[in-house]
Structure 1
Amino acid sequence: MIFQTIRKQNPLIHCMTNYVVANFQANGLLAIGASPVMADDGHEVEEMVTIASGLLINIGTLNERMKESMLLAGKKANVLGIPVVLDPVAAGATTYRKQTVQQFLEEIKFAAIRCNIGELAAIANVDWQQKGVDSGSGSISIELEAQKIAQLYNCIVIVTGEKDFITDGKHQQWVTGGNSQMTEVTGTGCLLSALCCASFTAGAQPFDQLLETLSLYKKLAEKAASSTRFIGDFQIAVLNELHRLSKEGEE
């Protein structure tokens, strides 16, 4: 099982992420036996990425300093062959975010993109009304646009929501399940991106590894929701389930 494999390998995952979710991501990675590091200063990111197994770029609290650091780290990771995962948080909410994501896609080779439907629409230049960091509303063919993006950038595209969709441009799969409480805790999507980064590093079949990660994340949401009805406890239950799955596997 993928989380057990990660625990055995103990990869260092370099998260260039936002301050809203950094703690949750770090604890989630620790829960499956990965080692998180959250370095984002331009003076050290290239050096830090040289010892990492994977790099996550998350633009949730984007600013110019971090943008430049992300470009430095992403390009260094590409040179070293270290997989880079992009979480284009609220990519369509502002012109600055959309332009930054386009620049990243042009200058950094990403192994995977993990986004919601609104962020997919922004990357694909489909008309969409994004509501802050929430997915917003509009009309888009998830399958068609995700496949186009996967083929254009030669990467795996994951679109998460009530149902998740994953494609590498050739293969595709829908993943069902989960629980709506995941939408009531900030950072659950960002945590998934960090887990996907760790999963990508865990073997030689990244599509299958990421597909398993999505399926497990849906299942652990159901398990966590069944153990509590309070949102604060739910967040803790998610971490507990990650820890249990990485040690014991599925029941």
Structure 2
Amino acid sequence: MQYADISAELLERVRARAPLVQCITNFVAMDIAANLVLAIGASPAMVHAKEEVEEFAAIASALTINIGTIAPEWVEGMSLAASTASRIGLPWVLDPVACGATRWRTQVARELAAKRPTLIRGNASEILALQADRETTTRGVDSTDPVERAQTAARALAKTYGAIVAVTGATDFVTDGSRELGIEGGDPLMTKVTALGCSLTAVSGAFLAVGDSAFESTVAALASFKIAGSRSALNCPGPGTLRWRMADELHRLDAAAMRSEARLLSYA
């Protein structure tokens, strides 16, 4: 079965099962991430307090951790949730937002990565900074590196942590250390809407929750976002319109569109 067909099947599973996705994300992303998880057909739970993250992880279908607006108490909750997910076999995603911007943020991201996430998703600069002994520059949450520059780092991270690594940008790159795939689509206007990447992390949790292969689930999640982004940008007057169109297009997305509109690149 081709990846586009698998992606279509996984979308149908998300819609049928409505998995519960525990989203530990940042203040900027909470609203749009929750709404885009709902739009794809899953159920978001924005649970981050250290007093309840372990208990909630035990009933969730997947966990996503985004370090965008971290504070010490948030880091404690993230660490507890990640440890619980790893212990009970719950699929979980790490989004190392702005890794490399400060020493503490980079340390936190690396400590969480050591808890062996199922998926690490970030832009090229974040992926480069997450890998020890790699030099990169970052400007807050914005990548200053092209996706291609981070491919070697992504492969190394995948092998080190046993994770799928997705480098997202103009053409997304997904690897498990051996298999590799590219996903084209989307639109440059998406970079003008804050927290879309954070929302993709949350949506990835929904696909991981229903898939048999983390690699295939990651491809499906990224493909869904690329298709929705391309559709949302058609005749779009600006980023404000694209923001709400993303929810509409993810909601409208169906298996036929996943099969016909997913633009997947095989790396020989």
Q: TM-score, normalised by structure 2?
A: 0.89
Letter in structure 2 aligned against 1:221: G
Letter in structure 2 aligned against 1:121: L
Q: Is the 8 A contact 2:24 2:66 kept in 1?
A: yes
214-223 vs 12-21, greater mean Cα deviation: 214-223
Q: Is the alpha carbon distance of 1:77 and 1:139 closer, same or farther for their aligned partners in structure 2, counting shifts above 3 Å?
A: closer
Partner of 2:116: 109
Once the two structures are superposed, residues 49-80 of structure 1 have per-residue CA deviations (whole angstroms, 9 ceiling, x without a partner) of 11100000100001100000111111111121
Letter in structure 2 aligned against 1:111: T
For residue 139 of structure 1, report the CA deviation from its aligned partner: 10
Partner of 1:74: 82
Are 1:49 and 2:57 an aligned pair? yes
Q: Is the 8 A contact 2:11 2:220 kept in 1?
A: no
For residue 137 of structure 1, report the CA deviation from its aligned partner: 4.3
Partner of 1:30: 38
Match among 232, 236, 244 for residue 224 of structure 1: 232
For residue 206 of structure 1, report the CA deviation from its aligned partner: 2.1
For residue 142 of structure 1, report the CA deviation from its aligned partner: 2.3
156-165 vs 171-180, greater mean Cα deviation: 171-180
Q: Is the 8 A contact 2:146 2:169 kept in 1?
A: no
SS of the aligned residue for 2:50 comes to coil
Unaligned runs of 5+ in 2: 1-7, 261-268
SS of the aligned residue for 1:82 comes to coil
Q: TM-score, normalised by structure 1?
A: 0.95
Partner of 1:168: 176
Percent of aligned positions with the same letter in both sequences?
37
Letter in structure 2 aligned against 1:167: T
RMSD: 1.7
Unaligned runs of 5+ in 1: none
Q: Is the 8 A contact 1:146 1:167 kept in 2?
A: yes
Take 1:216 and 1:150, find their aligned partners in 2: how far apart are those partners? 22
Q: Is the alpha carbon distance of 1:31 and 1:246 closer, same or farther for their aligned partners in structure 2, counting shifts above 3 Å?
A: farther
SS of the aligned residue for 1:55 comes to strand
Moved beyond 6 Å, runs of 4+: none
How many residues are paired up? 250
SS of the aligned residue for 1:165 comes to strand
For residue 21 of structure 1, report the CA deviation from its aligned partner: 0.5
